[in-house]
Amino acid sequence: MFTKSTQQDENLNQYEFSKNFASLLVHSFKELITPPLRISEGIKQFHFIAHESLFVIIICVCFAAMVTILESSFHMKLVIGNDSLVPGFAALLILRELGAVITGLLLASRVGAGIAAEIATMKITEQIDALQMLGVRPVNYIVVPRLIASVFAGAIVTILANLVCLLTAQVIADIYLGFSFEMFMTAVKRFADFNDLFLSAIKGASFGFVIPLVSSYYGFRCKGGAEDVGQTTTKSVVASSIAIIFIDFILTSLFSQLY
Amino acid sequence: MIRFVELSKSFGSRTILNKISFEVRTGEILFILGTSGTGKSVLLKNLVGLLRPDSGQIWVDDQEISRYSEEQYLSIRRQIGMVFQQPALFDSLTVFENVAFGLRRLEKLLPDELSKRVIESLQLVHLHQLENRYPNELSYGQQKRVSIARTLALKPKVLLFDEPTTGLDPVTTTTVNELIFELSQKLKTTSIVVSHDMKCAIDIAHRIIVLDKGHIVDQGTPDELKKSEQELVKEFLREVLQTSQSAPTKEKLP
Ligand SMILES: Nc1ncnc2c1ncn2[C@@H]1O[C@H](COP(=O)(O)OP(=O)(O)OP(=O)(O)O)[C@@H](O)[C@H]1O
Ligand SMILES: [Mg+2]
């Protein structure tokens, strides 16, 4: 009379997420196009993500720019005898890798950790259950606004980071290597163009997409008490960071077909 | 009427509920007693689809609901409200907004109807002065009562209480128990109350079920249980007798 269940029955409840990442991904896409879309929450999250992380990211990319210029100049002088290629080389490195990856990794540790801890806490304090009892789908309510906000923030912050990084590189090149603004820009233009900035923004958006997904995945899986929230947060930052490096590799190899 | 048929639930290799069968009659107050970790919360969450059983059936009226989709469960959750073991209030919302949360989503009310319903619900738990506070500005007991109000606001026909009085002071405990009793008397609300507290159970339950290690060890009316031969039931009763002898109003610590 009673039916023996299969693994599939377990998945009936979309929020018993302990199963797999793919189901969260699918649900998120579904919820992305299912009303209600919480626009104001999305804007709030965007403000939080972009505004809160911008300062840290800017500082980090400034230093990255300095190191890039000084290091590449040192080595180029050593190997080919002059440093005329430094601006172009640095610009490529910044636009194709540094700007997006540094932004992504910092977003993962700041924003990703926040999302994972928040959802994990909601899970263990039964707030997720309460949402469901009150007719709210947690993915729609929590994940989707963060996802949208993070995609836009990822792209925009990446563009800003790239511009600031390039500007710092120019200033450093001026001070230490004597490249004037015009000389620097001419050298940059021989290697890089606007497309590089655009592709970098695509990378940033992709990173912005995976960070909330990975973080919510870990958040929803949290079971125990405060200690587990901590572990969940750590795991989610590690996983997002690995995902970012991996996606960076995939996108870079894809984009290299385009250049 | 609600009926569980041979309901089983495991997490990994640990069997929490093992072929549990019982029924809940309309309008009655059913207490579920059991030691910590026997799966009382898991049992309640299975009824509203927050967890899904591995096998067995759950009947609500004439529907077998355990294989329902998330969508289908929406209508079940309109009928069956649950007060969780933890307050589970939404931190970023005021008390008022917490109580209004479900109403805004599930019922189309005019603004003054809405606030009337919210205030009414808060009055039931004696908290109507605190509507503009945030959850972190309330004591644990107050938070728990807000959470009861949030569930009551939707006027469900069936109420699930997961340890509604654990951690509350004796006076508030009595208030909450009276509330459960009144809802059953006046509105014919069916209540399933998970508790450690045999004394409350004897006071207001129509029937009591005692769970241990995934099985029902005994069930019956309070009077029937008082004659029980089961060791665990006697254990629970012994505490009641002791507390009522030594100090009639003194409560156990949570
Ligand atoms: N989502 C889950 N995943 C894995 N194990 C779980 C989950 N929920 C509960 N458990 C386990 O199931 C067992 C029963 O839990 P449950 O919360 O139902 O106990 P309880 O009877 O409500 O106890 P208490 O009186 O302490 O609340 C516990 O051992 C718990 O660790
Ligand atoms: Mg419990």
pLDDT of residue B93: 93
CB of B164 less than 8 A from some CB of A: no
CB of B37 less than 8 A from some CB of A: no
pLDDT per residue as tens digits for the range A185-216: 888 887 888 888 899 999 999 999 999 999 99
Long-range Cβ pairs for the range B142-147 (8 Å, 24+)? B143/B87, B143/B89, B144/B87, B144/B168, B145/B172, B145/B176, B146/B87, B146/B89, B146/B95, B146/B98, B146/B99, B146/B122, B147/A130, B147/B83, B147/B84, B147/B87, B147/B88, B147/B89, B147/B98
**ipTM score of the complex?**
0.88
CB of B159 less than 8 A from some CB of A: no
Closest Cα to atom 27 of ligand 1: B36
pLDDT of residue A16: 54
Q: Any bridge partners for residue B8, and if so which? A: B55
Instruction: Answer whether residue A43 shows pLDDT above 50.
Output: yes
Instruction: Answer whether residue A238 shows pLDDT above 90.
Output: yes
Ligand 1: centre distance to CA B42 (Å):
6
* B105·A135 Cβ contact <8 A: yes
Name the range with the highest mean pLDDT among A71-85, A172-186, B81-95.
B81-95
C-beta B39 within 6 A of ligand 1: yes
**What residues of A are in contact with residue B42 (Cβ under 8 Å)?**
none
Lowest mean pLDDT among A76-90, A159-173, B98-112: A76-90
pLDDT of residue A3: 35
d(CA B84, CA B161): 7
C-beta B56 within 6 A of ligand 1: no
CB of A1 less than 8 A from some CB of B: yes
Question: How confident is the model over A255-259, as a mean pLDDT?
Answer: 78
- Higher-pLDDT residue of A248 and A6 is A248
CB of A18 less than 8 A from some CB of B: no
SS3 A52: helix
d(CA A132, CA A129): 5
* B67·A9 Cβ contact <8 A: yes
pLDDT of residue B235: 82
Q: From the list A9, A13, A129, which residue is nearest B70 (CB)?
A: A13
Compute φ and ψ for A255, nearest 5 degrees.
Answer: -65, -30
Closest Cα to atom 18 of ligand 1: B39
Instruction: Answer whether residue A24 shows pLDDT above 90.
Output: no
**What residues of B are in contact with residue A134 (Cβ under 8 Å)?**
101-102, 105-106, 150, 154
What percent of chain A is predicted at pLDDT more than 90? 41
| Ligand 1 probe mutation, B40, B144, B192, most atoms within 8 A of CB | B40
Closest Cα to atom 3 of ligand 1: B11
d(CA A3, CA B8): 11
pLDDT of residue B253: 46
d(CA A111, CA A90): 28
Lowest mean pLDDT among A110-114, A224-228, B239-243: B239-243
Considering only CA atoms, give the Rg of chain A.
22
* B150·A134 Cβ contact <8 A: yes
C-beta B214 within 6 A of ligand 1: no
For residue B51, the ligand 1 atom closest to its alpha carbon is: 1
CB of B150 less than 8 A from some CB of A: yes
pLDDT of residue B168: 83
Instruction: Answer whether residue A30 shows pLDDT above 70.
Output: yes
d(CA B233, CA A183): 89
The domain covering B2-242 belongs, at the CATH homologous superfamily level, to P-loop containing nucleotide triphosphate hydrolases (3.40.50.300)
Ligand 2: centre distance to CA A4 (Å):
26
Q: Residues with beta carbon < 5 A to ion ligand 2?
A: B 41, 85
* B77·A132 Cβ contact <8 A: yes
Q: Which of B71, B86, B160 best tests the A interface by mutation, with the highest count of A CBs <10 A?
A: B86
* Under 8 Å between Cβ of A152 and A46: yes
- Interface A–B counts its CB contacts (< 8 A) at 79
d(CA A98, CA A105): 10
Local mean pLDDT, 10-residue blocks, chain B (254 residues):
91 89 92 90 92 91 87 90 93 93 89 92 88 91 91 92 87 87 86 88 90 89 84 80 53 44
pLDDT of residue B99: 94
| Ligand 1 probe mutation, B41, B52, B85, B192, most atoms within 8 A of CB | B41
